[in-house]
Amino acid sequence: MQLHEQLETVVDETTFLAFVAALEKDRRASAGGRVDDFGRNEHGWENHSIEDFLEAAHAWAEDSEFGSKQGLASESPWKKFAVFLFCGKIYE
């Protein structure tokens, strides 16, 4: 299952932790990989340091009103936080 597909399964603590394990595995697989001209590596990681990851996740949360602008207002807090972490990977 792709990481973005696993993100869609998050509804509770158990599925959240499974997503976090998948995100960690995805990050480990991408470590040390080549980065393209746009700063992404082959696994789609835009942010390569913890500082950049947290900055991107925070920027997404502010820009999207923690997902409200993307239709996440009624989602579980587990899903919202999973999206927050996922956006740390991809948001610039």
Longest dimension (CA), the chain: 38
Cβ contacts of 12 within 8 Å, gap of 6 or more? 76, 78
Rounded Cα distance, 7 and 22, in Å: 9
Q: Are 50 and 58 in contact (CB under 8 A)?
A: no
Rounded Cα distance, 75 and 49, in Å: 29
Rounded Cα distance, 71 and 52, in Å: 25
- For the chain, 92 residues long, give each residue's pLDDT as a single digit of tens: 899 999 999 999 999 999 999 999 998 888 776 766 565 666 678 888 899 999 999 999 999 999 999 999 999 999 999 999 999 999 98
Residue holding tokens 């001209």? 37
CA 38 to chain centre: 18
Specify the pTM.
0.86
